[in-house]
Amino acid sequence: MKYIWIFALLVALAGCEDKSASDEVLEKISEIQKTARRKDLTSTLGNKDAETVEDILELRDICDKIMGFVGDNDIESAFEEMKKYTILPESEMDGACEGTQKQLALLQNRYGKCIGYELVDEQLVSNSLVKFIYLAKCKNVPLVWRFIFYQSDGNWSLTSFVWDDQIQNI
């Protein structure tokens, strides 16, 4: 596969007489390689339809959208939104959604229904790892939701999420 890219690069550069045309070709080849690597990664690890996120500033908007669904007690829509950005297989996400719905139904008498959410912390752990912590504000007790995004090849993906009632661990 590597030799094909090198050959394509040489052929493209040979046909370019000025530097700007060769730069354009290099950019196109880089985009093709990025897309191919992302497809290889997601097909190997799980979700083939995962959307790529290149801008770190979009990650908070994604989490806010997910938590908006959680705050509205719409867990299914929250997980559908998470599926768009994770490499986890759809079957695992469906199982996590079902488990979350069951657990929240059991805990509803104690915690009450969700009535909203708020961001507690966002942390750039490293250049390739970002963590967001939210409260799902239930009537009686908040639940903590954590999201971790990892950057590979210039694209961010949701690699971990968890919720619990351990507010002392924030």
Reported as a single tens digit per residue, the pLDDT across 74-130 is 999 999 999 999 989 999 999 999 999 999 999 988 999 999 999 999 999 999 999
Q: Which of 19-23, 90-94, 162-166 has the lowest mean pLDDT?
A: 19-23
- Across the range 18-45, mean pLDDT stands at 47
- Residue from 78, 52, 69 nearest 150 by CA: 52
Give 57-169's CATH code, choosing from 2.40.50, 3.30.310, 3.10.450, 3.30.1050. Answer: 3.10.450
pLDDT at residue 31, rounded to an integer = 54
Instruction: Give the rounded distance of the alpha carbon of 113 from its chain centre.
Output: 26
Share of the chain above pLDDT 70, in %: 69
The residue extents of the domains of the chain are: 2-45, 57-169
Reported as a single tens digit per residue, the pLDDT across 44-61 is 345 555 666 878 889 999
Buried b (16+ CB within 10 A) or exposed e, 39-55: eebbeeebbeebeebee
pLDDT at residue 42, rounded to an integer = 36
- Computed over every residue of the chain, the mean pLDDT equals 79
CA separation for the pair 79, 103 (Å, rounded) = 15
What is the chain's percent helix, strand, coil content, to nearest 5? 50, 25, 20
Going edge to edge, which strands form the sheet with 143-152? 114-126, 129-138, 143-152, 155-164
| Identity at 32, one-letter amino acid code | I
β-partners of residue 147 are 132, 161
DSSP 52: P
Q: At residue 24, does pLDDT exceed 80? A: no
